[in-house]
Structure 1
Amino acid sequence: MAASSSSSSSYKPVLTVESINPHVPNVEYAVRGELSNRANDYANILAEGKGKERGLAFPSVVSANIGNPQQQPFLAQKPLTFWRQVAALTEYPALLDAKLPDDVFPRDVKDRARHILDDVGSVGAYSHSKGAASIRKHVAEFIQERDGHPSDPEMIYLTAGASAGVQLLLSILIAGPQVGVMIPIPQYPLYSAALAFYGAQPVRYFLDAHHDWAIDVDAMARQVDESRQKGIDVRACCVINPGNPTGSCLSRKNIEDILKMAHDKRLVVMADEVYQANIYQPDTLPFISFKKVLRDFEKDEATKNIASEVELVSFHSISKGVSGECGRRGGYFELTNISSDVEAQVYKMASVNLCPSLQGQIGVDLLVRPPRQGEPSYELWKHETQSIHETLEARSKKMAGKFNELEGIQCNEAQGALYLFPEITLPQKAIEAAQKEKRQPDLFYCLKMLDATGICVVPGSGFGKMPDLEQRKVFLRTTVLAKETDEFVERFGTFHKKFLEEYA
């Protein structure tokens, strides 16, 4: 018999903020927070044609807070034709036998779709938990061609974006609240958020803003020692190269020193290399993978043991580069020098999630095996990818140049990735106004700018780079993806000048 109910029920909700996992309220993810929510509200108001009625002083929202290149209508990077053609055929294989012109589905597009379908069967079916075997084989070939060293497909896991891979590895690495993981400051907030969720200890190492965000490896080593003396079991070091949010690139010497330090201090290296195709100074600062540098140590008898002993996990993604396929959720990680017993546990945990998205996996295949010269799709693919890369580089340089023309702003030119991270000196009255609102000064500045211009960026504190109140210096991160770059810099410059006047 069903229990009776009445309007005076004494039922109390099971789920409250006090009863849920206590780590969840500690998780923060600044790129989608208060600023982003307000920007979305403004975008909805403008879409309804009520901007003037609601007092908005701008015609559009500029979403410069997140690296989401194909976001419509704000960024609107066009998808690569080859990718979408292959994806269409894998979604609806009947088109393979349809009598359509070759310019709709060129021969190499059909060949690629057939090859993928021969392995996966249907994009509606589960694949192997590590990902489709043929795609992992292609990833291994890509890595070997890139680095000049062998890669084992069985040590490659396809994932739902690099973020899923990072979280999977952290979930295995973190054995309790005493475990520490080194993260750069400033850092992409995935890392601090994941550590907060797993209840682990962030061990921060600081990048030098005034020397192209250089890494002081000796200081990192001291930080490991000091943290261990405090009882923190420091187990891993996360490195983002090219950098997010800094746009910096590591030299070979930087990478060598980090790997030597990791060997000396017994640290797993987690190399986030999702921006490896976004390089703007290839002659002086080309992308060099941690895997390549690690294996290159084999050439010298004095460092040979480093090559075979340092535990390395390398991550890549289809969300960045020139593809910008964020919504497909595709990525991979490669395990290097990880014990077979631990690899078995990684496989088990990957199996719990059954498999990553099949279209994400297909995206990885297209990332690592683009059209080759002489194939029907090559010329269009080359034109599209070069155009995107040149556009991103030009926007980056233009925005950095305009920032540096403004009073109180200093901005390093991006060496890679999709971001700029300018430093801003605020008037003391602005600091005091922020304190009255009980906000960080960088968030105060960013909210004022959003309200005045529709530009949405992320305060530096969201990446762990806290305001220096004594020097009155704050940071913010902006993407270089806005299609209205000229309008962006004009709106930003106008706002900044008025802000300085208002709080002078």
Structure 2
Amino acid sequence: MSTVQDVNPRVRGIRAPVNLQGLAACISEQIAKSVKKPFKSVIDVSSGDPHKAGMPPISFIRQVMAVCLYPELLKEKSLPLDVRQRAQKLLDMCSGGSVGSYSTTSGGLPQVQKSISEFITRRDGGVPSHPEDIILTTGLQKSLSVFLNLLTSGEGKTQTGVLTPMPCPHTLPMLLDMTGLALVPYRLFEEQGWAVNLDELHRALEAGRVHCEPKAIYISNPGKPTGYVQDRETIEKVIHFAATNGLIILAEEVHQDSVYGQDKEFISYKKVLSEMGKTYAETMELVSFHSISTAHIGEGGLRGGYMEVINIDPAVKKYLTVISSASVLPQLALELSVNPPRPEDSSYNSYTQEIHHIEDTLSQNAKRACEFLNRVEGMSCQPSMAGLFLYPRVHLPPHIVEEAKRLEVKADVLYCQRLLREEGICVGAGCENGQEDKNYHIRLCILTPPSTLEEILARLRSFHHRLLEKLA
């Protein structure tokens, strides 16, 4: 492979990453080498990584994982008894009693699949889930990649398309590029709290059919990065729309454990589908995705996730099982996430306290940050009802837009680059979430220690005011 022209054309067609995190790492390295900056450290809240943002991991999960990695700790009496018992149970699931052994089954460890299906059944009020419908993978992105690759076919007007919300999760556009699928955008309505609109779905579908063959619709519920929580009526309308138009529903439900909006609750697409009668419940193809990159667990770096496939042809499901893979350690973390300590366990009180602390911090931070941003001149922010992000709109002054054109970068990217260089705050640019219009946005993770959030907001306001002062 001597030149870039020898690279797979599909790979060459992947949109270039914004790479703000790379710039953040470079600035952090400069600070470590005593290069003077107007700030002491970089705070990166561009992704949903609460540990990077300063939140501690859950003690119970880390303790059990530590024992699994170093079984000599089974003898350590200072560790809670239920931690050691759970670790032994998990080790018994592994080949050779070791997390370092290969998994002998494709699709995941059977005991973990069973635990996840039991969790889903409890979550959905008794709607049955079956272990054979659970496929474990190395994280959400891998789950999506595996299934999207099965959909990929055709070129030009026969290319498979996926209806995709705008804004969407910031990793999704590049993933669609990588798998050779056409992104068919449907707009979420900011003035309605980023709600899904049925008329917009019909418009997007007809527009997509001009240049590709839409075969699936991607749903993020609760929404990333918007925090919008779909109600039962909305979900029913989306299911009816998908069924009428022969679309597979891809429901990403990672933030289901972090709903904090008043009078809001998470309802899974599977639960609603099961209650719509046999015509839908027994025929509608649905794939739901979940992972350990949640607000409660936050172990995104372990790369553990799963998909539950509903009404998918067994022959197709066989391919999914064959091409999926999951490392042993994240599978064990998944098992712990769906089977937390029970009231009779010695770790129950501390675990519950830590979870409540995360929930309180997230809901209070969401309210505090939204109110703050709405008081900053040139910014506006819809309240988030769930999840880890706020997605405020930033009204950019003309000189920033003109400078971006001159530098051949997108205006929201330039805004984020300058914020990072001048204030040491790394946020995500709205264009990463697929937005191409002139309504510029930024994305920031709000699950941080409250003191860190205050510092982020203060630096952001200071930077934004300086931009506006240049217009005076």
Same fold at TM > 0.5: yes
What residue is the counterpart of 1:439 in the other structure?
Answer: 409
- Indicate which of 277, 283, 290 corresponds to 1:316: 290
CA distance in 1, matches of 2:29, 2:399: 33
Does the C-alpha gap of structure 1 residues 437 and 167 become closer, same or farther in structure 2, counting only changes over 3 Å? same
Superposed CA deviations along residues 401-459 of structure 1, whole A, max 9, x for unmatched, are 11100112110111111111111212223222222222222112111211110111111
1:482 and 1:488 in contact (8 A); partners too: no
SS at match of 1:28: coil
What residue is the counterpart of 1:19 in the other structure?
Answer: 6
Does 1:140 find its partner at 2:117?
Answer: yes
Q: Give the aligned residue type for 2:110.
A: A
- Indicate which of 132, 135, 142 corresponds to 1:164: 142
- Indicate which of 455, 458, 464 corresponds to 2:434: 464
Shift of 1:231: 5.2
CA distance in 1, matches of 2:16, 2:307: 23
What residue is the counterpart of 1:207 in the other structure?
Answer: 188
Q: Give the aligned residue type for 1:333.
A: M
1:23 and 1:197 in contact (8 A); partners too: yes
- Indicate which of 240, 243, 249 corresponds to 1:260: 240
Shift of 1:461: 1.1
Does 1:492 find its partner at 2:460?
Answer: yes
Does 1:198 find its partner at 2:156?
Answer: no
* Matches for 1:238-249 after TM superposition, within 5 Å: 238-249=218-229
What residue is the counterpart of 2:312 in the other structure?
Answer: 338
What residue is the counterpart of 2:55 in the other structure?
Answer: 77
Q: 5+ unaligned residues in a row in structure 1: which ranges?
A: 1-13, 299-303
SS at match of 1:18: helix
Does 1:291 find its partner at 2:270?
Answer: yes
SS at match of 2:383: coil
- Indicate which of 28, 33, 42 corresponds to 1:43: 28
Q: Give the aligned residue type for 2:394.
A: I
CA distance in 1, matches of 2:47, 2:93: 34
What residue is the counterpart of 1:175 in the other structure?
Answer: 153
Q: Give the aligned residue type for 1:28.
A: R
1:189 and 1:462 in contact (8 A); partners too: yes
What residue is the counterpart of 1:404 in the other structure?
Answer: 374
* Matches for 1:180-191 after TM superposition, within 5 Å: 180-191=161-172
CA distance in 2, matches of 1:201, 1:40: 32
Q: Give the aligned residue type for 2:83.
A: V
- Indicate which of 373, 395, 402 corresponds to 2:343: 373
CA distance in 1, matches of 2:282, 2:49: 37
SS at match of 2:282: helix
CA distance in 2, matches of 1:17, 1:366: 45
SS at match of 1:288: coil
Q: 5+ unaligned residues in a row in structure 2: which ranges?
A: none
SS at match of 2:185: strand
Q: Give the aligned residue type for 1:246.
A: T
SS at match of 1:242: coil
Shift of 1:190: 2.7
- Indicate which of 403, 428, 440 corresponds to 1:474: 440
Equivalent pairs counted in the alignment come to 463
1:176 and 1:199 in contact (8 A); partners too: no
Q: Give the aligned residue type for 2:70.
A: Y
Shift of 1:379: 0.2
SS at match of 1:297: coil
TM norm structure 1: 0.89
CA distance in 1, matches of 2:16, 2:362: 25
SS at match of 2:5: coil
CA distance in 1, matches of 2:336, 2:59: 11
2:162 and 2:182 in contact (8 A); partners too: yes
CA distance in 1, matches of 2:413, 2:93: 49
CA distance in 1, matches of 2:245, 2:172: 21
CA distance in 2, matches of 1:467, 1:340: 42
1:243 and 1:249 in contact (8 A); partners too: yes
Shift of 1:390: 1.1
What residue is the counterpart of 1:3 in the other structure?
Answer: none
1:137 and 1:153 in contact (8 A); partners too: yes
Superposed CA deviations along residues 374-400 of structure 1, whole A, max 9, x for unmatched, are 211100000011111211222222111
Q: Is the deviation greater in 309-318 or in 477-486?
A: 477-486
1:467 and 1:475 in contact (8 A); partners too: no
Does 1:149 find its partner at 2:123?
Answer: no
CA distance in 2, matches of 1:233, 1:20: 26
1:410 and 1:423 in contact (8 A); partners too: yes
Q: Give the aligned residue type for 1:158.
A: L
2:221 and 2:230 in contact (8 A); partners too: yes
Q: Is the deviation greater in 492-501 or in 426-435?
A: 426-435
Does the C-alpha gap of structure 1 residues 428 and 403 become closer, same or farther in structure 2, counting only changes over 3 Å? same
Structure 1 or 2, whichever has the larger Rg, is 1
Shift of 1:335: 0.5
Shift of 1:476: 0.9
Shift of 1:26: 2.6
Deviation above 4 Å: which 4+ runs of structure 1? none
2:50 and 2:295 in contact (8 A); partners too: no
Does the C-alpha gap of structure 1 residues 447 and 238 become closer, same or farther in structure 2, counting only changes over 3 Å? same
Superposed CA deviations along residues 270-298 of structure 1, whole A, max 9, x for unmatched, are 000011111112x5221111111111113
What residue is the counterpart of 1:424 in the other structure?
Answer: 394
Identity among equivalent pairs (%) = 35
Shift of 1:481: 3.1
